[in-house]
């Protein structure tokens, strides 16, 4: 006789395996698939996703879940079984609350909207995309009504990406940040000429770029025995199990930064997935806690480690060895300043550490205004441009470089953007706490050793996988709720020094 919990686990494991297969198909599509394979791949993915969704929302799953919850009422809160029941309940409710018709309409709309958006951006033609954005906003509102919320429509949407996080919390954190960040950015930009990043541009042999990136992330602790690196147009990390976590990178032969910092970034995501406790393998807890927590790991290794002076004290000589003609005559300090140059950019994905969060705040404000009817879809481009000017001091010359720049809305994702900023803030707080606990982490990094930092993350973040909601994980790891102070301290110290404020 198997228990209901065991039966539930077996069923969820099957759904999990389907998602693993979906991830393999997605990885292949972006790394290897000949373009002609697109049509059949879309069919395969649709079939697998459909089956996984049907299995999750089925009466059988619902009944098993309810019975397993009864059975497991006395389980230890911190145990894996209790956590599994909590997360299974969350997944099941999220998947069943929205009627299938609405899910279907949402999918159909966003599938078409994606192409409309791509054309609109290419043609700088916002009006052609506007009716689709209008529809996507409306569908998101309907979805939010089904999911339910107490305070703001946005709460229900944000919760899909950052479980449990509320709009009011994000708003409060962003207000804190904004009050200090905007003046700091202004001060730095007034001294923009103090930093030159020309040394990052030149001819950089791709094989050597790759060798360096792999050497670094191997030292970080990314396990190539349980992963691999491939090339993709839009770099990403994907995981088929904790023992098969793959990263992708894109190389620019004339610019060092994209592949280098991209690889460090993806390795952070990947080490998180590789670090989930072995006991969570093969079931729904094997994931990360949220997009925000995931982003904290990628930004940690990309920025807090990868753009630090200590890290380059160790690695710059090695990079110079690989690129003697390009970097042999550059001193460490110039290189450190170059990789931390601040310059206000119209495009979020090109933004530096300091200005990045301003891009997110803009979207957060716009998304809320659109959902609550305070802003019309037609009026959105002008508001976008005004806010860019207010926050960053620059105005997009056209909508392609303004409101049309990101793919997210066309894919239906409203409520996603804040996770990027939450990840940034959390990366600084986690690092601060790790150093408080393990004092010689900075010295280790200067020696090219990362075991102290990775070990702390493994213990306090990675191994828990998706056992806890993000807020609980963060409180357990840092002793307090997420706040903006640590990140602001980090930015002020770092950029204050670089720009001699």
The residues annotated with a catalytic role in the active site are: 266
Nearest residue (CB) to its own copies, 229 versus 385: 229
Which residues lie below 8 Å from residue 205, measured CB to CB, with a gap of 6+?
253, 323
DSSP state of 245: E
Structure tokens at 42: 């879309």
In order of 11, 63, 74, 153, 344, the CA distances from 69 in angstroms are 15, 10, 9, 30, 52
| Least distance between its own copies and beta carbon 363 (Å) | 35
| Least distance between its own copies and beta carbon 486 (Å) | 35
Cβ contact 424:356 at 8 Å: yes
Question: Shortest CA distance to 68 belongs to which of 5, 13, 10, 12?
Answer: 5
| Least distance between its own copies and beta carbon 122 (Å) | 24
Nearest residue (CB) to its own copies, 47 versus 128: 47
Nearest residue (CB) to its own copies, 180 versus 244: 244
Give the residue ranges of DSSP H helices in 250-342.
257-274, 291-299, 309-322, 324-327, 332-338
Nearest residue (CB) to its own copies, 145 versus 230: 230
| Least distance between its own copies and beta carbon 91 (Å) | 17
Structure tokens at 460: 């306090």
| Least distance between its own copies and beta carbon 281 (Å) | 7
Percent of the chain that is helix, strand, coil (3-state, to 5): 70, 5, 30
Cα maximum dimension of the chain: 73
| Least distance between its own copies and beta carbon 345 (Å) | 35
Nearest residue (CB) to its own copies, 221 versus 344: 221
Structure tokens at 379: 């009026």
| Least distance between its own copies and beta carbon 73 (Å) | 29
Question: Shortest CA distance to 312 belongs to which of 497, 498, 445?
Answer: 445
Question: Shortest CA distance to 304 belongs to which of 423, 480, 391?
Answer: 423
Q: Which residues of 109-138 are buried (b: 16+ CB within 10 A; e: fewer)?
A: bbeebeebbeebbeeebbeebbebbebbbe
| Least distance between its own copies and beta carbon 228 (Å) | 6
Structure tokens at 307: 């753009």
| Least distance between its own copies and beta carbon 359 (Å) | 35
Nearest residue (CB) to its own copies, 41 versus 395: 41
Tokens 């990775």 correspond to what residue? Answer: 454
Nearest residue (CB) to its own copies, 42 versus 192: 42
In order of 185, 282, 362, the CA distances from 352 in angstroms are 11, 37, 16
Which value, in Å, is the radius of gyration of the alpha carbons in the chain?
Answer: 23
Structure tokens at 84: 């599994």
- Distance CA(358)–CA(388), nearest Å, equals 8
Q: What is the contact surface with its own copies in residues (CB under 8 A)?
A: 13-14, 17-18, 20-21, 24-25, 27-28, 32-37, 39-41, 43-44, 46-48, 50-51, 224-228, 230, 240-241, 243-244, 281-282
Nearest residue (CB) to its own copies, 44 versus 483: 44
- At 240 the three-state DSSP class reads strand
Q: ∠ at Cα 279 (57, 481), nearest 5°? A: 75
Nearest residue (CB) to its own copies, 57 versus 133: 57
Question: The dihedral of CA 145, 146, 148, 154: what is its sign?
Answer: negative
- Distance CA(137)–CA(371), nearest Å, equals 6
């Amino acid at each position: 006789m198997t228990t209901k919990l065991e039966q539930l686990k077996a069923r969820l494991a099957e759904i999990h395996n389907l998602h693993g297969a979906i991830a393999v198909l997605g990885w292949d599509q972006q790394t290897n698939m000949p373009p002609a394979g697109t049509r059949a791949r879309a069919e395969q993915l649709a079939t697998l996703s459909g089956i996984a969704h049907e299995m999750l929302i089925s009466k059988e799953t619902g009944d098993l879940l309810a019975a397993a919850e009864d059975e497991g009422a006395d389980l230890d809160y911190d145990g894996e079984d209790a956590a599994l029941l909590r997360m299974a309940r969350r997944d099941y409710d999220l998947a069943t609350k929205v009627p299938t018709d609405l899910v279907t309409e949402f999918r159909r709309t966003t599938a078409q909207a994606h192409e409309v958006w791509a054309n609109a951006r290419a043609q700088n033609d916002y009006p052609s995309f506007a009716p689709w954005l209008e529809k996507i906003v409306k569908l998101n509102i309907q979805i939010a009504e089904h999911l339910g919320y107490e305070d703001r429509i946005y709460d229900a949407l944000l919760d899909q990406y950052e479980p449990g996080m509320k709009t009011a919390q994000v708003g409060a954190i962003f207000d804190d940040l904004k009050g200090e960040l905007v003046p700091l950015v202004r001060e730095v930009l007034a001294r923009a000429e103090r930093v030159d990043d020309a040394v990052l541009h030149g001819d950089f042999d791709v094989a050597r770029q790759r060798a360096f990136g792999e050497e670094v992330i191997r030292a970080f602790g990314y396990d190539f025995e349980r992963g691999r690196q491939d090339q993709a147009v839009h770099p990403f990390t994907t995981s088929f199990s904790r023992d098969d976590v793959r990263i992708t990178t894109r190389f620019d032969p004339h610019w060092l930064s994209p592949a280098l910092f991209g690889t460090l970034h993806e390795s952070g995501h990947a080490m998180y997935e590789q670090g989930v406790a072995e006991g969570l393998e093969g079931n729904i807890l094997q994931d990360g806690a949220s997009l925000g927590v995931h982003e904290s790991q990628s930004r940690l290794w990309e920025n807090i480690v990868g753009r630090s002076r200590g890290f380059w004290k160790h690695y710059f000589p090695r990079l110079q060895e690989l690129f003697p003609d390009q970097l042999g005559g550059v001193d460490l300090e110039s290189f450190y300043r170059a990789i931390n140059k601040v310059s206000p950019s119209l495009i979020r994905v090109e933004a530096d550490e300091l200005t990045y969060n301003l891009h997110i705040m803009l979207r957060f404000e716009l998304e809320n205004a659109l959902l609550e009817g305070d802003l019309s879809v037609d009026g959105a481009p002008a508001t976008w441009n005004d806010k860019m000017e207010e926050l960053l001091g620059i105005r997009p010359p056209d909508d392609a470089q303004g409101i049309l720049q990101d793919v997210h809305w066309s894919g239906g994702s409203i409520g996603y953007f804040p996770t990027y900023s939450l990840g940034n803030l959390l990366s600084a707080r986690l690092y601060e706490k790790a150093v408080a606990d393990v004092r010689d982490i900075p010295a280790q990094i200067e020696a090219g050793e990362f075991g102290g930092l990775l070990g702390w993350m493994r213990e306090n973040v990675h191994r828990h996988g998706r056992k806890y909601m993000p807020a609980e994980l963060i409180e357990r790891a840092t002793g307090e709720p997420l706040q903006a102070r640590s990140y602001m301290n980090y930015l002020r110290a770092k950029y204050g020094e670089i720009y001699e404020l």
